[in-house]
Chain A
Amino acid sequence: MKFINVPFRNLKRRPLRTLFTIIGISIAVSSVILLISMSRGIEKAWVNSLTERNVHMLGLGSETIEILTSTLDEDLKKEIKTVQGVKNVSGELVNLLRLKQGIHLIQRGWPKNSFLWNTVQLKEGNLLKPEDSDKVLIGQTVSRKLNIKTGDSIIMLNKIFIVDGILAPAGTMNNSVVIFHLKTLQKLINKNKKVTEFHIQLNQPDDLTKVKEIQSELNKTFPKIVFIQTKEVGEKNDILIIFKNITWTTSLISLIVALFFILNTLLMSVSERTKEIGILNALGWSRNKIIIMIITEGIIIVSIATVLGYILGVISLKWLVRLPRLNGFFEPEVSDYMFFEILLVTLFLGIVGSLYPALKAVSLNPVDALNQE
């Protein structure tokens, strides 16, 4: 018999209790995986939607909390373009729309001469011509969900638009877009001469020092706009930050619940085994060996629970992204790295949760322990 068999055998002593503890912790772990991958997925989807368009920097209204509420004069573009190091600037008007069919999509309006048009890859159809004020391009997900192809029509805000092209498969957000000419969208949502944000391309995007200098110059010159690098968008968006905070707080609560599961189970187990711990003491087992035995029990529980929780989390996530209202808005990010991150946290919790029962066990007077019935 190896030492590891001892804690395993102890856990098998009350198989149902061990099983329910594992299930409880698995659920906590899966909810953590679900929340964190959703939070990271939304951020990732947004960053990807920008990198796919070759955007290096984003300019948003400095006093807005949520990107969609940002309203800027489209004419500012000319002034931004004059800053040294800026290669291209394009305004973009963004709107989120829920169709009568219950499908959510992202409407984007680009100026006719925007560099953003050059980044578009089509699966079928044509790019919009300057005179195409009643035509739109649609993403893969929109096409699939509405079952429409090039040449079909789509009704948005009581107006009929002709689909002139379908975008090639891209990141989740870009798959859920409908692209208009800027003027068309401005008219459709009553935002004449306004844009939501400015997309900026730089001459030397890989020179990080230069990028920071340009960012600082832009922020100084345009105090009503906040300029952020593409990779920073998740860190600077207040709504995402709030969502992340909610995610982390909820995850923390779940993990604290898991901690108490371990604590409770092992405390009960130790109090049931008072006499046995006394016997081990009499047989020459050191305090450390008894502590290691009980902590190993905690580690076994959390390790099995983490694997199960991870599987449960991934399955739930796959189900969640298929929900029509969520599909197309985030790319859930689950990786081996994330599994090890969670495992590290749960192992820590397993050790912390079993430490008190372990210390309680070794603090017993051996004679009292041996005399227990």
Chain B
Amino acid sequence: MELISLKNISRFYNDQKIKALNNITQSISQGEFVSIIGPSGSGKSTLLNIMSGLDKPTHGEVFFKNKKIDNNRSWTDIRSKNIGFVFQRFNLLPTFTALENVEIPMFGVIKNSKIRRSKATELLYQMGLKDRLHHFQSELSGGEQQRVAIARSLANSPDMIFADEPTGNLDSKTSESIINLLLDVHLKHNRTLVIVTHDKEIAKISNRVINILDGEIVNESFQK
């Protein structure tokens, strides 16, 4: 089943002088592991932002589960229940502990605060952060912060995880463990995984690689 489909998507900036994306048609299906690769400024993150409704296309249409989505309210609902985010700079909320950061997306989805807490605890245990539950962002290493972010992305059991350069701020050893975690999430929980990356090693392990250059898909390859 197609989760996200893009039809003739373009994204222009500065009165159409800058073309971040140009006439892209693409879809992501349930259970896929897709890597979006390309050099800096090629439009990878813009594509991810449009797929998640964080950004609006200048032209074209976006569908979620075959339903056209064109308003903020629907996108908010989809992001809340169906999409988990992992960012390059982790983006944890600094005034909240690791546990609270994982609880934050659950507000409005899970009403009971005890259930929220127990689910967040369980996710952090799964990420190997048993001893870091009550630590703030400033008390965690980069790898630990990204693990919290992955736990947070799974908070509402979403259909898909969008990861924008998840290893971009990490050393190679930590990067490997983070990728293994994401892969684990994809395989064990059958979550669709879309990763924006520069890292060709990550691309190698994905099912599909979308190569973007100057806002256009120049190549698309499928792997087993």
Contacts and interface: CB of A to CB of B under 8 A. Distances in A.
Interface in A260-290: 275-276, 279-287, 289
Contact of A281 (B54, B100, B152): B54
Interface stretch (B103-111, B175-183, B184-192, B216-224): B103-111
A370 B108 contact: no
Interface string A340-373: 0000000000000000000000000111001000
Interface string A287-305: 1010000000000000000
Given A1-B113, A284-B79, A284-B105, A9 B52 contact: no
Contacts of B2: none
A3 interface: yes
B55 interface: yes
A367 B116 CA distance: 27
Interface of A: 1-3, 5-6, 9-10, 12-13, 275-276, 279-287, 289, 365-367, 370
Interface string B58-92: 00000000000000110011111101010100010
A3 B107 contact: yes
Given A275-B91, A283-B80, A287-B72, A367 B100 contact: no
Contact of B117 (A1, A275, A276, A285): A1
Contact of B79 (A6, A12, A283): A283
Interface of B: 49, 52, 54-55, 72-73, 76-81, 83, 85, 87, 91, 93-96, 99-100, 103-105, 107-109, 113, 116-117, 152, 156
Nearest to A373: B89
Contacts of A365: 55
A282 B54 contact: yes
Nearest to B93: A276
Given A2-B113, A276-B94, A285-B76, 12 more contacts: A6-B107, A9-B96, A275-B91, A279-B91, A280-B104, A282-B52, A283-B152, A284-B109, A287-B76, A289-B107, A365-B55, A370-B87
B54 A286 contact: no
A358 to B, nearest CB: 16
Nearest to A284: B80
A109 B117 CA distance: 77
A286 to B, nearest CB: 5
A275 B89 CA distance: 12
Q: Which of A6, A9, A10, A279 has the most CB of B within 10 A?
A: A279
B58 to A, nearest CB: 14
A5 B93 CA distance: 14
Q: Which of A3, A284, A285, A367 has the most CB of B within 10 A?
A: A284
Given A1-B113, A367-B54, A285 B93 contact: no
Given A12-B95, A366-B54, A284 B81 contact: yes
Contact of B100 (A1, A12, A282, A283): A1
A198 B183 CA distance: 95
B86 to A, nearest CB: 11
A103 B223 CA distance: 99
Contacts of A367: 49, 54-55
Contacts of B81: 284
Contacts of B85: 282-283
Contacts of A13: 95
A280 B81 CA distance: 13
